[in-house]
């Protein structure tokens, strides 16, 4: 009789505290866009400037985020996150005071861009850490199942904080003033992002010299098979932004603007629950099939939304969309993980995260303008076009994917 050492588990590598820490560390980002909108509208009495400032925050994050990811791949997450945490907190505090100053509007937009550009990219960094732990330390036969569970959890965690982030902003702004959510986000960033940066999982498995030797060239990030995933996830961001904007306009026209968040939660909660279920899918239901199948659900939900004339139809459309969006996000992150060039995991994760943010920011700005200047019913059609982007990208992925090559494509 001989002892067989049990194989390592993910929790043994991360520690129990990692997951709640990473969850709370996401909150400042989830509070940021809505917090900026609330602050600027209150301080400058301009909905247009508020919407533009929020869009600029998203654009700043989308443009600079991949470079923060690239820095993490080259120098380690700890250095990249510590610098981002300090500069982001400073930018948030600056925004909170510039908003109420006599500074011109362009200064507001400049500091809003800085807020987005310095955002620490917690979600992509967390995904990258867990993916590397699974790939480097877990037994080969357990990796696919654990990877699916982790990416499902990460997507659900994002959904949870993006549902509760705006709620926290609303509570703080209502009881303590519109500047408070931004200052709270700055404090949370200093406390929890720094703790996340110093967590032992941020320590790289390789030295700086070893990382430099094995780092794939940046040109590998431009492979069509990876860019099509970025296009698909940008479509998801377009769906998020255009749906929320159209929903807000519709509920305002119905005389119930405060109900927009409640209705949007129908999609968010359903999306989170379905995302968790992805780990139960059989291996033969490959990623390329999943993309197309769940894109159909998003198309169906947004088609119903586009033709909706009542709150009930809106709710059903959002529920159907949520069925598709959650598993679709997990699928796209899984594809991004499988197609990441050597040593570029954090870069790819931030590229995907930036795609969501960019799509959401642009569609929110465009959707808001169309709702105000053209009409609510035209705005309700925009999410359908966003869903078409996802479906077309899925079809291109199918063409780029050789048949019978397994679930990693």
Give me the long-range contacts of 333-337 (CB less than 8 A, separation at least 24): 333/127, 333/151, 333/154, 333/155, 333/233, 334/147, 334/148, 334/151, 334/287, 335/229, 335/287, 335/291, 335/397, 335/409, 336/226, 336/229, 336/230, 336/233, 337/127, 337/131, 337/147, 337/151
| Residues 222 and 85 placed together within one structural domain of the fold | no
Higher pLDDT among residues 167 and 356, named by residue? 356
Does the pTM exceed 0.85?
A: no
| Residues 129 and 195 placed together within one structural domain of the fold | yes
| Residues 258 and 289 placed together within one structural domain of the fold | yes
64 within some domain: yes
8 within some domain: no
What tokens were used for 61? 């994050």
299 within some domain: yes
- Tens digits of residue pLDDT in 189-237: 999 999 999 988 876 655 555 555 566 676 777 789 899 999 999 999 9
| Residues 22 and 123 placed together within one structural domain of the fold | yes
pLDDT of the residue at 208 = 56
With beta carbons less than 8 A apart as the criterion, state whether 314 and 305 touch: yes
1 within some domain: no
Is the pLDDT at 403 greater than 70, yes or no? no
- CATH number (domain holding residue 239): 1.20.1250.20
- The domain in which residue 158 lies consists of 18-215
Q: What total number of domains does the chain contain? A: 2
- Tens digits of residue pLDDT in 7-36: 678 888 888 889 999 999 999 988 887 788
First to last CA, the chain: 42
- Tens digits of residue pLDDT in 106-134: 999 999 999 999 998 888 888 888 888 88
| Residues 201 and 236 placed together within one structural domain of the fold | no
| Residues 35 and 175 placed together within one structural domain of the fold | yes
Higher pLDDT among residues 330 and 342, named by residue? 330
- Tens digits of residue pLDDT in 75-111: 888 999 999 999 999 999 999 999 999 999 999 999 9
- Report the chain's C-alpha Rg in angstroms: 21
């Amino acid at each position: 009789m001989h002892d067989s050492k049990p194989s390592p588990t993910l929790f043994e590598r991360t520690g129990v505290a990692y997951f709640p820490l990473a969850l709370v560390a996401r909150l400042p980002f989830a509070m940021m866009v809505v917090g900026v909108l609330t602050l600027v509208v209150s301080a400058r009495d301009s909905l247009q400037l508020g919407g533009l400032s929020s869009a600029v925050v998203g654009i700043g994050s989308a443009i600079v985020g991949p470079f923060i990811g690239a820095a993490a791949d080259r120098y380690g997450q700890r250095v990249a996150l510590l610098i981002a945490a300090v500069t982001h907190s400073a930018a948030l505090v600056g925004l909170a005071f510039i908003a109420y100053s006599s500074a011109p509007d362009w200064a507001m937009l400049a500091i809003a861009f800085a807020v987005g550009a310095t955002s620490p990219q917690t979600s992509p960094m967390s995904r990258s850490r867990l993916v590397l732990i699974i790939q480097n330390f877990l037994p080969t036969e357990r990796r696919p199942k654990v990877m699916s569970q982790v990416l499902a959890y990460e997507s659900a965690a994002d959904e949870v904080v993006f549902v509760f982030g705006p709620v926290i902003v609303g509570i703080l702004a209502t009881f303590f003033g519109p500047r408070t959510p931004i200052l709270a986000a700055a404090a949370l960033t200093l406390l929890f992002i720094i703790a996340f940066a110093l967590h032992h999982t941020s320590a790289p498995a390789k030295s700086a010299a070893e990382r430099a030797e094995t780092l794939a060239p940046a040109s590998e990030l431009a492979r069509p098979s990876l860019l099509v995933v970025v296009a698909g996830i940008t479509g998801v961001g377009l769906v998020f932004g255009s749906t929320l904007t159209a929903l807000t306009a519709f509920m305002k026209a119905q005389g119930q603007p405060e109900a927009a968040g409640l209705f949007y939660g129908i999609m968010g909660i359903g999306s989170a629950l379905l995302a968790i279920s992805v780990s139960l899918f059989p291996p033969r239901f490959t990623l390329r099939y999943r993309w197309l199948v769940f894109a159909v659900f998003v198309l169906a939900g947004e088609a119903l939304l586009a033709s909706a004339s009542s709150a009930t139809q809106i709710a059903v459309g959002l529920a159907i969309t949520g069925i598709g969006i959650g598993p679709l996000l997990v699928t796209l992150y899984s594809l991004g993980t499988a197609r990441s060039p050597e040593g570029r995991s954090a870069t790819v994760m931030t590229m995907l995260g930036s795609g969501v943010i960019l799509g959401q920011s642009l569609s929110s700005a465009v959707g808001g303008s169309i709702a105000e200047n053209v009409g609510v019913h035209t705005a309700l059609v925009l999410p359908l076009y966003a869903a078409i982007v996802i479906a077309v990208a899925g079809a291109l992925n199918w063409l780029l994917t050789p048949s019978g090559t397994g679930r990693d494509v």
